[in-house]
Amino acid sequence: MTTYLLLMAEADHFRKWEEADDALRERVVADFMAFDEAVKARGSIAGGQALSSPDTARTVRPGPDRPVTDGPFAETIEQLGGFYLIDVESMEVAVELAALLPREYDVEVRECVDVDF
């Protein structure tokens, strides 16, 4: 098995969720539950979590004094809403499973690599 990171982003995610009606919220939760079951059938979930709003983020910048700025790493309209770490057989399976996540999200799928120190 290989570990993959699935990053979920959506334009103006937090405002849209706050304004979502019950039907949309129920469908999104059902999509997450279907994703969870599909991953468990083909591998495992190593971790995952929803994230707080980008206005609560801090970014440690490069440089000798490592300045810290308020907000996310990059200025963008898309907001990172959460992530999953999944262990599955291949990139193809990871992408197939990522397509089960709520359709509002762009999902970036990246293989995790082992780094020897």
Name, in order, each residue with C-beta under 8 angstroms of 26's C-beta and a sequence gap of 6 or more.
none
With 70 as the cut, is the pLDDT of residue 73 above it? no
Task: State the pLDDT at residue 31.
Answer: 95
pLDDT tier at 46 (50, 70, 90 boundaries)? Answer: very high
Q: What is the β-pairing status of strands 78-88 and 58-60?
A: unpaired
Task: State the pLDDT at residue 72.
Answer: 60
Q: Is the dihedral of CA 11, 13, 18, 23 positive or negative?
A: positive
Task: State the pLDDT at residue 76.
Answer: 58
Hey, what domains does the chain have and what are their CATH numbers?
2-111 (3.30.70.1060)
Helices and strands per DSSP (H, E), number in the chain: 3, 6
pLDDT tier at 56 (50, 70, 90 boundaries)? Answer: confident
Angle in degrees, 0-180, between the axes of helices 91-98 and 22-42, rounded to the nearest 10: 160
What's the mean per-residue pLDDT of the chain?
89
Q: Which two tokens stand for residue 53?
A: 């709003």
Q: Is the dihedral of CA 36, 3, 99, 29 positive or negative?
A: positive
Q: Which of residues 7 and 79 earns the better pLDDT score?
A: 7
